[in-house]
């Protein structure tokens, strides 16, 4: 399993716009093959900090998502309002 956390920092007046676009992205992404989880989380203490937390069955499934029509259309719209952030990719290891 692959997990990815995409952290986005934005301005206060752009929060609602990001949430509107993210809702469309989440709905479409959850229909994709290999998508286990894909949701937007908003920091409880700082509403300008939010993260997409996603889990995929395989790295290929994630790559297909990143190349999907809806991702290529909607994620750049979110990035218009992004002032900072980071993306971290994880691979699950059983202990």
Helix axes 69-79, 15-29, angle to 10 degrees: 170
The neighbour count for residue 28, using CB atoms within 10 Å, is 18
- Model confidence pLDDT, tens digit, residues 34-70: 999 999 999 999 999 999 999 999 999 999 999 999 9
- Using DSSP, state whether 76 is helix, strand or coil: helix
Tokens of 11: 């301005």
pTM comes to 0.91
CATH of domain 2-91: 3.30.70.100
CA 66 to chain CA centroid, nearest Å: 10
């Amino acid at each position: 399993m692959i997990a990815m956390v995409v952290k986005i920092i934005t301005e206060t007046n752009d929060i609602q716009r990001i949430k509107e676009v993210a809702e469309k992205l989440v709905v479409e992404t959850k229909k994709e093959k290999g998508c286990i989880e894909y949701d937007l989380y908003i920091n409880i203490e700082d509403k300008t900090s939010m993260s997409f937390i996603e889990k995929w069955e395989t790295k290929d499934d994630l790559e297909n998502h990143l190349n999907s029509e809806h991702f290529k259309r909607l994620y750049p719209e979110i990035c218009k309002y992004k002032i900072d952030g980071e993306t971290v990719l994880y691979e699950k290891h059983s202990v």
